[in-house]
Amino acid sequence: MTQIDIVDPWIKETDLIPCDYPVPDNALDKLRYRVFEDFHSRRKYFLSSGLKFGGDFLAYPGDPNATHSEFIIVCHDNSRSINPPYIHSQIRLATTVKKILLLATFDESKEKLKYKVMNSLQLTKKQRLNARTESHVNDTEMCEPNENNEISTAVDASAIMQCSTK
């Protein structure tokens, strides 16, 4: 017969330090929380910090020690304007390191989380040459995962679907 202690005999209640988890208080932190929740809980990706690639998250389809990340996720708050040279440099970086750049936004009116797939193949020659003056970057949106939980992207603008989270 073995005795199992339910309470640790060496730690007392007075030794514990209370810790409050910080609740997201601004729109960007709330967006980051929603993106983390969507990718981790719903899409079953492993997420890590994306700081070394200039993003908010790196998304891995499996164990980060065994696989390479597929996505660099940049969370963009709708209250800020998009800086075209910054987005262009992010697209070039993502292409160089063989990853897909996702621009995550949240539509407050529809309560929908949107992912825009950004890559240099979608940029026209004029947009590449005039990246400093262009105010619009051609994009597609990431659609719902299929039955195998794989994410597909719509390339044709007429086939773009609205993506939502539950």
Give the active site residues.
60, 68, 99
At 18, the amino acid letter reads: P
> What contacts 147, CB < 8 A, 6 or more positions away?
none
Rounded to 5 degrees, what are φ and ψ at 60?
A: -110, 135
Structure tokens at 45: 């990706």
Query: How many contiguous H segments (helices) and E segments (strands) does the chain have?
Result: 3, 6
User: What does the buried/exposed string (b/e) look like for 85-101 if buried means 16 or more CB atoms within 10 Å of the residue's CB?
Assistant: eebbebbbebeeeebbb
